[in-house]
Amino acid sequence: DSEYFNGKYRVKTVRAHWIDYNNGDFFVTICTKNRSHYFGHIDNGEIYLTSIGLYTLEAIQNIQKHNPYCEVLGFVIMPNHIHLILSITDIREMHKNKVAPTQVETQYIASLQFQSQMRIISKQRSLLARTIANFKSAVTRYARAQKIEFGWQSRYHDAFIRNQAMMNQIADYVDNNVVRWATDCYF
């Protein structure tokens, strides 16, 4: 039965089955556990980041370094959540016309081959999901190493960006999120 893995219940995915999470532009929101204000505070329309907020900023800036198939088009760090605008390009598509991939890309392709058995067992984990998991894991490791109380909400929200008008609307929302904090649904 697909609902169980090793006799344990497995929660069904909330991802839309008709969207290719390996290619495209996505608007992602990731909240902290219990929406606790771990990342900082907002005063007079400006965010003041805590040490974990500053590390989160660094981790966002390094997403593409660790996930060569992902480009961060925009982001904002709020006290208890972050918004990311990500562009995912399947690395296999990126190299159709390229002769020799870089070492990082070669390692990634080898990783894809290594994980093929796991994909059969648990369905393919998308590049978007892999990116978010890597990012959340990096921030969590930092918090533990620094002995900072911290936790993420278990899931994240994503929206597939269908066109330029939607991209513009989301970019405006991200750019003005700090200023609109008092009216934010996560306030």
| 170 Cβ neighbours under 8 A, 6+ residues apart | 27, 74, 85, 159, 161
Reading the block at residue 67, the tokens are 């996930």
Q: What is the mean pLDDT of residues 16-35?
A: 86
pTM of the complete model: 0.76
Is the dihedral angle over the CA atoms 78, 82, 83, 85 positive or is it negative?
A: positive
Which has the minimum average pLDDT: 18-22, 43-47, 59-63, 117-121?
117-121
Split at pLDDT 50, 70, 90, the class of 12 is low
Per the listing, tokens 């959340």 go with 136
**Cα 1–21–84 angle (5° rounding)?**
125
The string of pLDDT tens digits covering residues 130-151 is 999 999 999 999 999 999 999 9
Flag whether pLDDT at 186 surpasses 80.
Answer: no
What's the distance, Cα to Cα, between the start and end of the chain in Å? Answer: 41
- As a whole number of angstroms, the distance between CA 65 and CA 105 comes to 11
Helices (H) and strands (E) in the chain, counts: 7, 8
- As a whole number of angstroms, the distance between CA 17 and CA 19 comes to 6
Q: What is the mean pLDDT of residues 1-9?
A: 53
The string of pLDDT tens digits covering residues 50-107 is 999 999 999 999 999 998 899 999 999 999 999 999 999 976 555 555 555 566 666 6
The string of pLDDT tens digits covering residues 59-73 is 999 999 998 899 999
**In percent, how much of the chain has pLDDT > 70?**
71
